[in-house]
Every structure is written in structure tokens, then in C-alpha cells.
């Protein structure tokens, strides 16, 4: 058991909370039983290390067994050591270190449904959109502009393992992304508070679609909206002033998913 919080391995894992450290080491942190389970199930060859506590092993023996069957180095650690390594205040007894996810636009195959997050900087929102895209059966999520780092620990947690199910691409240039998708017959819909209401777009939603979502505070600027074939809004039927970004994105993605599967 690793019980010394000053162990070099413990300090190295803790430093992965910083993007520069992740980029230098080529690895990132995955916390919690669900995320670690999905990592081991869907991308086991990328796992470098798994650390777990005795209490976790007693409750989630199958995850420990999966880790031991993977190429990863697997270590039992004390509760204090896990707390020292984790990014969360109350860790759930397990964390893994995995190789960075590195996908490009060419990794996206025939796509019917894509989410583009442009300048989405909140990791919780980005992770929730990735989770919603996964649930709606999307083919890919693309992070453009100054969006949050895909490997941000909070984003990884918010996605609850969905980052291991989808093709997720980080590509700064929105123009490149739009050109790539439109060349493949994918229409671009910009989600905005001002635009044609989703129910009025039902017939068009059955076509291959990429939804373009903007910054939490400022939405999409004029340059970004100019790339869209249409600007579409989520109608508010009650008294709420608005929806938060992740909720609105979920509605948009499911609207497409329903029509594409009708």
C-alpha cells in the first residue's frame, strides 16, 4: 500500500490538475467509479495507472479486477494518499491516469449529429454537453476557439465517462470545422435565444446536423453565427427567463435525434 503523501508518484498525479503538467506528461486524471469503469471498458489500452482504497475494493471489486486485467499499473493506497492526489474535495476511492485523448477531424466518420462547442469555457457545461451528446447518439463533439481543455478534471467528471464513448476533437479554427462538415453534407444550426423555434424546424432536423453552441455568458458572436445555415432557438413556454447552456444543448441534440429516428 502507498501510504506516504510525499511519495513522488503521489505528487506527480496531483500535478495533473494543471494543464501544462498534463500536456508535458501526455496523461490526464480520471476520477470516480463510473468514469474509471468506462475508461477500462472502452479504452483499456490507454490506462497508465489505477489507484484505489480498501473501502473502494470492498464495494467495487469488479472495477479493481478490470484494472488488474488491463496494462495499467494498479496500486492500493491509503485514504489520505487518494485525497492528496484527487482533484475533488471528497474523492470516491478510485482514480486513474490515462493517455491524453488526441483525435482530429479526420477521425470523424459519416456524421448525422455533431455538437460544436465554440468558446465554451466552463468545464461543467462542456462535460454536460458531451454527456448529452453521447446520450442523444451523436457521432462527435468538437471543441473550438478558446473552449475549455478536454482533459480538465471537472470536465472529465461532468461527462461521467462519455468522453470515452464519442469522437471528441479539439480544433481551434471554427472555419475549418464548418468547412469539413459542410463538405460532408452536414448542415450547421446555431443555437441562439433569437432564431427560428425548434418546432418550426422539424422537417429540417432529420437531415445530418451539427449544432453550434456558444459561450455561456455571451453566446455566439456575429462571425460565428455567420457560419450557420440557420439560427435556431429553444422556445420558452413557461415563465423562466432562459435555459442554461447545457440544458439548451440537450434539448437541441434530442430534437435532432428524435427526428432522425422517426
User: Which pLDDT belongs to residue 130?
Assistant: 98
Domain 105-260 CATH (choose: 3.40.1280.10, 3.40.50.2000, 3.30.565.10, 2.40.50.180): 3.40.1280.10
Residues in the chain predicted with pLDDT less than 70, given as ranges, are none
Looking at the DSSP bridge assignments, the partners of residue 76 are 52
Q: Which CATH architecture group holds 8-99?
A: 2-Layer Sandwich (3.30)
Q: Where are the domains of the chain?
A: 8-99, 105-260
Closest CA to 211 of 227, 235, 200, 199: 227
Which residue in this structure is represented by grid cell 471489486? 61
User: Which pLDDT belongs to residue 194?
Assistant: 87
User: Which pLDDT belongs to residue 217?
Assistant: 87
Pairing of strands 94-99, 27-31: antiparallel
Q: How many beta carbons lie within 10 A of that of residue 84, not counting itself?
A: 18
pLDDT, tens digit, 9 for 90 and up, residues 166-219: 999 999 999 999 999 999 999 999 999 889 999 999 999 999 999 999 998 889
User: Which pLDDT belongs to residue 237?
Assistant: 94
* Long-range contacts at 87-93 (CB < 8 A, ≥ 24 apart): 87/17, 87/29, 87/31, 87/153, 87/154, 87/157, 88/31, 88/32, 88/153, 88/157, 91/31, 91/32, 92/31, 92/32, 92/33, 92/56, 93/33, 93/52, 93/53, 93/55, 93/56, 93/59, 93/60
Amino acid at each position: 500500500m502507498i501510504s506516504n503523501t510525499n511519495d513522488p508518484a503521489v505528487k506527480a498525479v496531483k500535478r495533473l490538475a494543471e494543464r501544462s503538467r498534463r500536456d508535458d506528461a501526455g496523461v490526464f486524471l480520471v476520477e470516480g467509479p463510473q468514469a474509471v469503469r468506462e475508461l477500462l471498458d472502452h479504452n483499456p489500452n490507454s490506462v497508465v495507472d489505477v489507484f484505489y482504497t480498501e473501502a473502494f475494493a470492498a464495494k467495487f471489486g469488479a472495477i479493481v479486477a478490470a484494472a488488474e486485467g488491463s496494462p495499467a499499473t494498479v496500486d492500493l493506497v491509503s485514504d489520505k494518499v487518494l485525497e492528496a492526489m484527487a482533484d475533488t474535495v471528497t474523492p470516491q476511492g478510485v482514480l486513474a491516469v490515462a493517455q491524453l485523448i488526441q483525435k482530429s477531424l479526420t477521425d470523424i466518420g459519416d456524421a448525422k449529429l455533431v455538437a460544436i462547442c465554440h468558446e465554451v469555457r466552463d468545464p461543467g457545461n462542456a462535460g454536460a454537453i458531451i454527456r448529452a451528446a453521447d446520450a442523444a447518439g451523436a457521432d462527435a463533439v468538437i471543441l473550438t476557439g478558446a473552449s475549455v481543455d478536454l482533459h480538465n478534471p471537472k470536465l472529465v467528471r461532468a461527462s461521467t465517462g462519455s468522453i470515452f464513448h464519442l469522437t471528441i476533437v479539439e480544433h481551434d479554427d471554427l472555419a475549418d470545422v464548418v468547412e469539413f462538415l459542410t463538405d460532408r453534407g452536414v448542415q450547421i444550426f446555431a443555437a441562439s435565444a433569437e432564431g427560428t423555434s425548434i418546432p418550426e424546424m422539424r422537417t429540417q432536423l432529420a437531415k445530418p446536423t451539427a449544432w453550434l453552441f456558444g459561450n455561456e455568458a455571451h453566446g455566439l458572436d456575429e462571425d460565428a453565427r455567420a457560419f450557420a445555415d440557420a439560427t435556431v432557438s429553444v422556445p420558452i413556454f413557461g415563465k423562466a427567463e432562459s435555459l442554461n447552456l447545457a440544458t439548451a444543448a440537450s434539448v437541441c441534440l434530442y430534437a435532432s435525434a428524435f427526428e432522425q429516428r422517426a
